């Protein structure tokens, strides 16, 4: 009779997902590339559902997770390699399926994916361990690898859906070198000397590393989950496939106090990014500030609807798109911080509220946080995320530059007081 070889079948699955790249598998003498039947079938089912639907997402716009034909390459994003890595994420339990595009930009496509079984199980385990508690102290456990490579089997989504951000390989990253070459973390790499493929991978890695630093520092950002080549897996901010809106999409009365609150939240986030993550965003505008309920951006496992309080439903800003972000020691950091704050100010002034003059805003962000013990927190730890914390026996949930005594509410009060004496 015919003998069934599951290993060959899984390699055949991988070759099919890779498409034209699958020929490499027939030549390579390796067993390292394989996709289980479960992951392969899940991806193919999603692909069949997605055929025949309109794309419907404008460039740099947002829309519900529409089914855009995941089997096709859009702007060089969803190629064979990407499909195989998404199938691997399905097989590992990070996601259940990839539904479609929710945002298309010049550099990347963002897909919505249903959170996988591992996130649901990790919540139940945390509740069992805590006797029904929230398990909030476990939120960093899936962000322990700075590179994201090799950590897929340890990553869960905490019960949330997942955003799959795929950087387009065909995109030319012109003008991006200055954001990499002046960064001390990449002092041995010249961006322009890398080929186009390596540039995209390097840019993806840089965004992932920056997001880790910001997240661990308590800055409101999407939780980074995993990275592979030109793909980032992040917490999806939104509900039922609808992404949280950009702040420019908010329809609110001009001059409303809510605009003042959002402005203050933005500046507090920038100040925290500066002091606690030691980063400058370097491309901050109304296009990469999202507005979402606090529960979506909170650390820890998903808070179910019947568990949420009024505070959990309060709207807050979340900063996104950190590929260009640089350390505060970068030669152009001060210039880019000034540009960020000027752009933010221009947007909020158009909403009819008071905003700090640019110089005052820069002073607010950069003024020292007085309660910090510099000797203990140190000033030189810029490469902490290069250490694979998963290999350490002691679990460390605190980013080295976290400022003891930092309180966003107090920072908001200080800033709102400053705004009272400000003319537009």
Catalytic residue among 96, 138, 321, 340: 321
DSSP string, 18-47: HGGGGHHHHH---S-----HHHHHHHHHHH
Question: Do residues 400 and 377 touch, judged by C-beta distance below 8 A?
Answer: yes
Q: Cite the beta strand spans of 255-360 per DSSP E.
A: 279-280, 289-293, 315-319, 326-327
Question: Do residues 277 and 214 touch, judged by C-beta distance below 8 A?
Answer: yes
User: Parallel, antiparallel, or unpaired for β 95-104 and 62-66?
Assistant: antiparallel
Q: Could you tell me which residues come within 8 angstroms of residue 421 by beta carbon, excluding any fewer than 6 positions away?
A: none
Catalytic residue among 283, 312, 360, 408: 283
Is 283 tagged catalytic?
A: yes
Work out the burial of residue 157: count CB atoms within 10 Å of its CB; fewer than 13 is exposed, 13-18 middle, 19 or more buried: buried
At residue 113, φ and ψ (nearest 5 deg) are -135, 145
Strand, coil or helix: what is 231?
strand
| CA 90, chain centre distance (Å) | 19
Is 311 tagged catalytic?
A: no
In whole angstroms, what is the distance from residue 381 CA to residue 205 CA?
Answer: 19
Quickly tell me which residue has 């909020």 as its tokens.
348
Active site amino acids: 283, 321
């Amino acid at each position: 009779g015919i003998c069934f070889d599951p290993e060959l079948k899984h390699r055949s699955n991988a070759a099919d997902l890779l498409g034209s790249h699958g020929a490499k598998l027939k030549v390579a003498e390796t067993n390292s590339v394989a996709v289980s039947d479960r992951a392969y079938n899940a991806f193919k089912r999603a692909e069949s559902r997605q055929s025949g639907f309109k794309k419907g997402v404008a460039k740099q716009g947002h829309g519900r997770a529409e089914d855009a034909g995941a089997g096709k390459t859009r702007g060089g994003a969803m190629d064979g390699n990407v499909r195989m890595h998404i199938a691997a994420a399905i097989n590992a339990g990070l996601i259940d399926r990839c539904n479609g595009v929710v945002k298309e930009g010049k550099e990347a496509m963002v897909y919505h994916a249903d959170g996988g079984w591992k996130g649901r199980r990790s919540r139940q385990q945390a509740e069992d361990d805590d006797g029904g508690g929230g398990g909030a102290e476990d939120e960093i456990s899936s962000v322990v690898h700075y590179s994201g490579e090799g950590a897929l089997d340890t990553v869960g989504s905490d019960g949330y859906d997942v955003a799959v951000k795929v950087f387009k390989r065909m995109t030319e990253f012109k003008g991006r070198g200055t954001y990499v070459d002046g960064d001390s973390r990449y002092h041995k790499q010249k961006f322009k000397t890398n080929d186009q493929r390596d540039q995209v991978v390097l840019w993806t890695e840089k965004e992932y590393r920056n997001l880790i630093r910001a997240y661990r520092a308590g800055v409101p950002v999407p939780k980074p989950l995993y990275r592979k080549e030109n793909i980032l897996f992040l917490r999806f901010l939104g509900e039922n496939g609808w992404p949280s809106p950009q702040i420019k999409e908010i329809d609110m009365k001009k001059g409303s106090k809510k605009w003042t609150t959002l402005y203050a939240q933005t500046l507090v986030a920038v100040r925290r990014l500066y002091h606690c993550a030691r980063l400058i965003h370097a491309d901050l505008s109304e296009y990469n500030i999202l507005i979402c309920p606090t529960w979506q951006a909170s650390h820890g496992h998903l808070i179910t609807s019947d568990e949420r309080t009024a505070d959990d439903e309060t709207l807050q800003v979340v900063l996104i798109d950190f590929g260009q972000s640089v350390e505060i020691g970068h030669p152009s950091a001060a210039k880019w911080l000034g540009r960020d704050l000027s752009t933010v100010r221009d947007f909020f002034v158009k909403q009819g509220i008071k905003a700090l003059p640019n110089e005052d805003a820069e002073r607010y962000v950069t003024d020292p946080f007085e309660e910090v013990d510099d000797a203990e927190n140190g000033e030189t730890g810029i490469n902490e995320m290069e250490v694979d914390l998963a290999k350490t026996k002691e679990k460390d949930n605190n980013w080295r530059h976290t400022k003891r005594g930092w309180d966003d509410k107090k920072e908001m009060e200080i800033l709102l007081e400053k705004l009272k004496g400000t003319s537009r």
